[in-house]
Amino acid sequence: MNPTLKRVIFAIAGAAAGLLISFIFFADLNKGDQNASANQSKAEKVFVPYGEKDEYYMMASGGHSGQLFVYGLPSMRKIRTVPVFTPDPATGYGYDAKSKEMLGGYTWGDFHHPAISETAGDYDGQFLFANDVGNNRVAAVDLETFHTVDIMSLPNMGGPHAGVFVTENTEYIALPTRFARPLDGQFAPLDDYESEYKGVVSMTTFDREAKKFDLAYQIVLPPWSYDLSDAGKKMSSDWIVMTTYNTEFATTNLEINASQNDRDYIVLLNWKELEKQVAAGNYKDVNGAKMIDPREHKGAIYAVPVAKSPHGVDVTPDGTRFIAAGKLAPMMTVFSFQKAFDAIEKGEFTDEKYGIPVLNYEDVMEREVDPPGALGPLHTQFDDRGNAFNTMFISSEVVKWNVDTGEVIDRQPSYFSPGHAAATEGDTVSPDGKWLVALNKIAKDNFLSVGPSHPESMDLYDISGDKMEHIMAVPVDPEPHYAQIIHRDKIKTITVYPKDEARPNSVWKQDDARIERNGNEVHVYGIAMRSRFIFDAKADRPDAVTVKQGDRVFFHMTNIDLDQDITHGFGINEYDLNFEVQPGQTSTLEFVADKAGVYPIYCTNFCSALHQEMSGYLLVEPK
C-alpha cells in the first residue's frame, strides 16, 4: 500500500476511534449526570428538613420479634419499636405488673398483620390490633400512647395467621386460624385429622372505653389452612373472605402434599348472619368460646374455587370485588361480590365440600390477570384511581394494573422478594395513592454486610404518577409481614398521662411517698422525679428500701414530672428487673426479694443533667 494512503487510513481510523471513545465517554458522563439528577430528585422527595415531620406513620408488624415497628414516611426513618407480644427492656415492657400479666408468661410472639381501627371504612387512628401466630393471641395498641393496652389469648386456635382485619366500623376484629387442631385442647392423632381437627375463626370485639377485648364467638370450619383474609366494604360489608390452602388435608410434607389440588377455595362468611345466630343461642360452648358452625345456617357460608394455593385476598376500596393472588398460579383473580350474591340468590352451586355450598368459578370470577413472566403474586394494594398493585415474590417486582380492565400499567423491580406491600391509607375505602412500600423478605447484598444473615428490606415507591417510581430501599429487622400507613393528622397522641389522684397506687405529693408493710408484703408507694426516687418521705434516707429476704415487694411508682418526654427508668442491680414510668404514669413492679444483700436501684432512662444521681438502694436483710 502507498505509505501516504496508509497514513491517511490510520489517521481516519485514529480519529474515528477517538471520536467513538469521546462519544462513549460523553455519553457516560451524560448518563452519570442524569443518574445524579434523578437521585437528587428522589432524595428531595423524601428529605424531611429539621423541624418538619413526616406526613405518614407506617405501622409495620415486627414478625417473630413480636413487636410493632413505627416508621415515618416518606423519609423511611424508624421512629419507635412498640413492644406488643415480647418483653422489651428498653421500655421495661413485660417487667411491670400490668404488662407482665398481659404477656401471660410468653417471651415471644409472631406478629404478622396490623389493623388500625376503622370508622365507616376509614382508619380512625385510635387503636391498632395485632395477631400473634406463634401463641394464639390478639393485642391492642392505644395510638394515643403507643402502649399495648390489652392482650387476649384465643382458645381452640392453631396460629391466627389470617387475621387481623377489622370490619367496616370495627364491629369485629377477626382472626382465622392457620393450622387446624382438635378443639378444646384435646389430643387426637394425626390419622384422625379429617374428623377431629378443625379450622376456627375468632370473632373478637374491642371496647374502646374500657380498652378490653372480648371473644364474641368462634366459627368452626373444615381443617383447611386459612391463609389470609379481609373484610368486605360498603356493598359487601356483611362479609368476610378468606383464602385456603391444604384442602388436601395433608398432615406431613405440606410443600408437596398440600400443593396437589388445582384449585383451593376462597371462603365467604356472612358475619351479620352469624351474629344473629349467636344472639339466638345457636352455638355450643367449647373451651369458653361460643362456637358456631356456619354450615348449619343457611346463607352463612359459601366457597369459591380459586387457582392452586392462593395467598392474599383483598377487597377493593369500593367493596365490589375481592382479588386473590395465587402463590403457585402466577395470576391475580378478580371476583365480583355482585356475581357471587346473584349466584347465591339463584341457588346455583356446583358442589358441596364438607357441608359448604361451592359456587361455580366462572359465575363469580370476573377476570384473570396474568402479566407475562410475573411470578409469585402474594398481596394486593390499591390507589385512589382504580388501580391495584401486586407484589411478585418470585420475579421480585411490583405490578400496577387496572382493576376494571385488567390492563397492566407498569412493572417495577423490588430489592428483593416482596411479601406484602402497603399503600398510603391502602386498606380503607379511600386510599390516597401517594406512596407504596414493598416489604421484602430477602435483602441480599443491598446493605453493608452483617454476616451470613442479612436484614430484610423495604422499598419505597412514589405511586402518585402513571408510572411507579422506585425511590429507595431501607433495611429492617426481622420481619415486617404487613404494614398499614396512616396520615399523621389521624394520630392524636397525648404528651403526658393526665394527673389522676384517684388512680390506684398513685402518689402525687412528695410527702405522701411511703412504705407499708403487711405481713411479708412490702408496698412502696413511691415517686420518680427529676432527679431522685422518693420511696419513704419520712425516712432519713427517702431513697432506700429495706426488706427481709423472702418478702414480696411491690414498687408502685408514679412519675410526677408532667413534662413531655421526661421518662424515668427503674433498674435493680442483679435482680434482673427493669421498668419505666412515663410522665404522669403509675406502674407497679412486683417480685420476691429472694436474694439477701444490697442492691443499687437506678434510673435507666436518661432524664436530666443529674440523671446519674437518680438512684437508691434495696437492702435485703438475710433471713
> 62 and 82 in contact (C-beta within 8 Å)?
no
- Choice between 240 and 607, CB closer to ligand CUA: 607
Between CA 230 and CA 215 the distance in angstroms is: 19
> 457 and 413 in contact (C-beta within 8 Å)?
no
Q: What, of ligand CUK, ligand CUA, none, does residue 523 touch, CB below 5 to 8 Å by kind?
A: none
List the one residue from 311, 532, 556, 568 that touches ligand CUK (CB under 6 A).
Answer: 311
**Distance in Å, CB of 439 to ligand CUK, minimum:** 7
Between CA 388 and CA 321 the distance in angstroms is: 12
Q: Does 161 bind ligand CUK (CB under 6 A)?
A: yes
For residues 559-578, which are near ligand CUA according to CB under 6 A? 568
| Residue from 68, 50, 48 nearest 112 by CA | 68
List the one residue from 45, 308, 470, 611 that touches ligand CUA (CB under 6 A).
Answer: 611
392 — phi, psi (to 5°)? -115, 105
Per the DSSP assignment, residues forming a β-bridge with 449 are: none
- DSSP state letter for 492: -
Q: What, of ligand CUK, ligand CUA, none, does residue 614 touch, CB below 5 to 8 Å by kind?
A: ligand CUA
**Distance in Å, CB of 423 to ligand CUK, minimum:** 15
Between CA 86 and CA 82 the distance in angstroms is: 10
Choose the binding region for ligand CUA from 412-420, 437-445, 492-500, 602-610 (rule: CB under 6 A): 602-610
Q: What, of ligand CUK, ligand CUA, none, does residue 568 touch, CB below 5 to 8 Å by kind?
A: ligand CUA
Q: Does 534 bind ligand CUA (CB under 6 A)?
A: no
| Residue from 290, 227, 221 nearest 258 by CA | 227
For residues 23-62, which are near ligand CUK according to CB under 6 A? none
> 620 and 600 in contact (C-beta within 8 Å)?
no
Between CA 623 and CA 615 the distance in angstroms is: 25
- Which residues, 6+ apart, have CB-to-CB distance to 264 below 8 Å? 224, 243, 244, 245, 246, 247, 305, 306, 308, 309, 310
**Distance in Å, CB of 616 to ligand CUA, minimum:** 11
454 — phi, psi (to 5°)? -95, 165
> 383 and 433 in contact (C-beta within 8 Å)?
yes
Alpha helices in 223-336 (DSSP H): 254-257, 271-279
Q: Does 178 bind ligand CUK (CB under 6 A)?
A: no
Grid coordinates representing 287? 373451651
For residues 419-448, which are near ligand CUK according to CB under 6 A? 419-420
Q: What, of ligand CUA, ligand CUK, none, does residue 603 touch, CB below 5 to 8 Å by kind?
A: ligand CUA
Question: In the stretch 93-122, what mask flags binding to ligand CUK with x, by CB under 6 A?
Answer: -------------------xx---------
Q: What, of ligand CUA, ligand CUK, none, does residue 481 touch, CB below 5 to 8 Å by kind?
A: ligand CUK
List the one residue from 607, 617, 618, 620 that touches ligand CUA (CB under 6 A).
Answer: 607
Q: Does 490 bind ligand CUA (CB under 6 A)?
A: no
Between CA 573 and CA 473 the distance in angstroms is: 41
List the one residue from 10, 23, 25, 606 that touches ligand CUA (CB under 6 A).
Answer: 606
- Choice between 152 and 378, CB closer to ligand CUK: 378
- In the complex, which residues of this chain contact ligand CUK (CB under 6 A)? 112-113, 161, 228, 311, 378-379, 419-420, 481-482
- In the complex, which residues of this chain contact ligand CUA (CB under 6 A)? 568, 603, 605-607, 611, 614
